[in-house]
Chains A and B, each alone.
Chain A
Amino acid sequence: MKNNVEVKNISFSYGKTEILKDLSLDIREGEFMVLLGPSGCGKTTLLNCIAGLLDLTDGQIWIEDDNVTWKEPKDRHIGMVFQSYALYPSMTVEKNLSFGLRMMNTPKNIINEKIDKAANLLQINELLKRKPSQLSGGQRQRVAIGRALVRDAKVFLFDEPLSNLDAKLRAELRYEIKKLHRDLSNTMIYVTHDQIEAMTLADRISVMKDGLIQQLDTPKQIYNKPANLFVAGFIGSPSMNFLKASYDKSNKKIIVGKKQIDISKYENINNLMNDQGVVFGIRPENINIEKNENSIQCKVELVEPMGADTLVWTSVEGNPISIRLEGSSNFNLNDEINISFDINKSSIFDSKSEERI
C-alpha cells in the first residue's frame, strides 16, 4: 500500500532537552494511526512536527510524496483538531468553519456548499449562527472537526480531541470519529493517552515512550503480544499481572518464590535459557478459577464488581494478581480459590532487557 505520511529520521529538541530522537514512522494512505503514550512521551510534539507547527532539529517529513519539511502548516494539506477545541471565540460557528477557506479566497458559493456538507455530516446545522461560547463541549468539538473537514485536508491530525469531554460524550464522539473515518477514508493521525480510544479507533497503534516508538502494530497484536514490559503494562485496564520468576529448563517450569508454573505450552519456549531471570505476564481475563495439577491455591483479597465483569484480587507469593470473571460470579473475602494460567495467551519478558521472549 502507498505511504501517505512519511516521517524520516526526525529529531526535535527544545533547548537542550531532546524530545524526539531519530524517529521514523510511515503511515499508509487511509490509515487510522494512533500515537499512544503517557504524558511527556513526545506524541504531541511529533504531531506538531507533522503539522509544521514546530521546526525539526533534523530529518524530513513527507506528505503525499511531497517533502514538506520546510513548508508552512497551511501548505501541507492538513486539518487539525485540538484538545482545547481552539475555536475562534469572536466568530460564529459558520465563520469558524469558513475561516480557512476565506483565507484562501475561495468563492462564496463553494464555501457555502462545503459548510453545508460538513454541517450535515456532523449534525451541527442548527448551531451555525451561534458563537462558540454558546455551545457545549461536545458541540464545540464537532465544530472543530468540521473546521478540519471543510478544508478538504488529505491528512487529519487529532491532538487528544476527546480528553476534555465527560465519559459519555467521549464514547459518543469516539464512535462518530470512527464512522467519519469509515465514510471519508482519509488518513488520520490521532494522539491520545487513552488506551481505549487507541484500541477502538486505530488501524495501527504506535506506542511511544521517551521520544521513541516502543511498538508499532495493530491493536490486536499490541494487546496480545506486547513487545516489551512497558507496552504490556501500559495497554490494558486493569493492567497485565506480572510475576518475577526464573526459568528451570529441565522441567520447563518457571519458579516464583516457592511456587512453580508449567510453561511448556509457551510459543517461544525454546528461546529461554536455564536460570534466566524472567517476568511472567498474564492478563486478568486469561486466568481461570479451576483446580488441576498446575493450579495455585490462594485467597480472595478484594472483589470489585464492575457490572459486566467482576474483578477478583488475590496474590501469589506477594505479587498482586487481578482476575477478570463474569459479572454474575460470586466470591467473598477470604474464599480459598485455585487459579490456573492460560499459558498460550501469556507473555514472558527477559527481566534485564524487558523485551518479550
Chain B
Amino acid sequence: MDDKIGVFLCTGYGIAEALDVEALRNVVTGECEVPFCETVPSCEGSDLAAMNGTIRREGFTKVVVAGISPRAYAGDAFPDGVIVEKVALREHVVGCQPPKEEDTQMLAEDYLRMYLAKVKKMAPLAPFRPAEPLDRGVLVVGGGLAGLTAALEAARAGATVRLVESTERLGGWLGKQHRSIPTKPPFRDLEETGIGELVEQVTSHPRIRVSTSATTASISGGPGLFDVTLRSTGNGKPAGEVIDTFRVGAIIQATGWKPADPRDRLPWGRQPGVILNVDFEEIVRAHGRPVHPVDGRPVRSVAFLQCGGSRAKEHHSYCSSICCLTTLKQALYLRESDPEAKAYVFFEFLRAPGLYEDFYRRVQEDPGVFFTRGEVTAVEPAPGGGLLVSAKNAMLGESLAVKVDLVVLAAGLKPNSADGEAIRALEGAKVAVVKGENEQQRKEAAEKIEKLKAHEGTEILNLRYRQGPDLPALEYGFPDSHFICFPYETRRTGIYTAGAVRQPMDGAASREDATGAALKAIQCVEMTARGEAVHPRAGDTSVPDFFLQRCTQCKRCTEECPFGVLNEDEKGTPLLWVTRCRRCGTCMGACPERIISFKDFSVDIVASMIKAVHVPEEYEQSPPATTASCSSAASTATTISATS
C-alpha cells in the first residue's frame, strides 16, 4: 500500500471537555494501526493552515480530521489530490450526547474506526475527461413563447443556440392570439402579444440559428456531446429528408401544449356553434371581432363553459390554470365588439391566480359579462336559431337556461410530450409478439400493444437512449422531474423542459420558466466540461466504475437507472455515458454481482464502515445502532439541529 494516512484530532469546540482525547488517540494508533495522530486546537484559520502544512510536509495521501462537520469547510480547505474525510465530532457526538459518559466516548471512537475504515478503502477520484472536446451549445426544441425566450436568454448569456420549430413559422400559440391577457398592474387592459418583436429578436440574433419546418430525427450522446440530426417536415424539402447534423451541449424542450378537446365526450359536444377557445381566438384574430363560424354573422351572445365543459377525472383531472384567464379575455373581445353583447361564463371554480384577480374583477365590472357556477346539462338548438344552454346548480343553486349564438368550451392544456418509456414498452411488446417464447407471452404482448397503441409514432426528441426515445412522462404526461424541488429538471441529464410542456402555465410564467431552463442548460455544459455532476449532486467528480468482466448482462442497471445513463450493446452489456450520470448510485444498488462502484463509495466501503463499529459483548443498556442518512438532506438536518 502506498497510502500514507494521517489523523488529526481536534480538541476545540468543547470536544476535549466532553471526550477523553487520549483514549481516542489510542484507538487510532493502537487498534487502527495508524501511526500519525496529532491533536489540533481547532479546524479553522491558522490551525487549518498548520494542518495543511503538516499534510504537505508528511506527504499524506489520506487524512481523517475528527472535529467539525464537512459542511463547515470551504471547498478548497485542503490540498488537491489528498483524500480528506471529516468526522463531525462536534455535531454528531459532543453536540447531542452527555459529556464524559462512557457511551459518548464509545460513539466518538466508533466514528473514528468507521472513517478510518472508509479512507483505507477509498481511491483517488479520476474526473471524466472525454477524448473529444465538449460542445457548449444549446438546442432548443419548439419555437413558441417558451422556446423563443429560452433561445434568446441562452444566446444573451453567451451560448450558441440552435432553435428547431416543426411548423413553418415561429410564435406558437401566442402567435395565434388576437390579444394577450394583461401582464402588468393594474391588470385591466388587454395587451398586444409582443410575439412579433420576440421573433424578430431571435431571428436577428447572431448566436441563434433557427430551423423551421424541422424536427429532431435523432439525438445521441449525452451532455456536452449530444449529436443531433434534423429532418424536414416537408415544407420546401421532401418530408423526412435529413437537413442538418450538429453537436450541442444541452437541450431545452419547449414543445408547448395542445388543447384537450372534450367534444367527443360530451353528448352535446358535436354540433355547429360549439367550438373550442382556441378556435374562437383564431376567429377573432382573423375577423377582428367574434363571428359565427358557420354563417360568418357577428356573434352577440356567447356561453363560455369553463373546464372544457367537462372537468371529469377520466378526461382532464387537473387545472390548466390559464383557461379561465383566456375566457375573461375572450369575453372582453365580445363586449368590445358590441356594447349590447352578452357573455355568460359557467364555471365550477373560476381561477385567476395571483394578481390576475384584478383582471377578473375588471371583467366582472363589465355590465355584459355574467358569471355563474353551474353544471351544464344540455346544449341544444334553440327555437328560432342559436343555442340553448341549460345548467343546473347555477345561480343560487337553481337551474337556468340562456340563449346564445355560440358556445365556447374553455379547453384545457395537454402537454405536447411523448412518453419515451411507453414508446419503448410498445416497441418491446411488438418484438415479443413475434419472438415470444410461448403463447401466454405473445398474448400478453398483444394486450400491451393494444393498451399502448396511442403512443405509436408520437416521438419528439428521438433520443438514442436505451430507456426510450423521449423524456419519461410523469403525472398527466408532463415530462417533469419534480416541479417544486427541481424545476426544469427532467429524468434525462442535460435535457431541460420549459413552458407549458412542463406544467400548465401562462405566458409570464413561460418566459420565466424558459429563462430558468436556459441558465440550467448553460450550467450543465459548464459543469460537464469540468467533469462534475449536475444537480442534485452538483460538483461531484466521481464516476461509477463497471467491472465488466464479471457482468452477467442481467440489465438491471440499464433498466433501473433513473436518468437513462446506460445504453446497452447487443448482448445487453451496459455502456456508460458518463456525462449523463448524476452519481445517484442506483446502479450500484441494482447490480446483483456488485461490480459497480465509485472510488469514494462502494458496497465494500459501506460494509467495512459498518463492520468497524465496535460491538460490546454486553449492550443491553445501550445497543449500538447505525443509520444511513442522505448527505444532502437528513445528514444536514441532524448536523444543523446538533449545533442549534
Asked if A pairs with B, the answer is no
Interface residues in chain A, defined as those with a beta carbon under 8 Å from any beta carbon in chain B: none
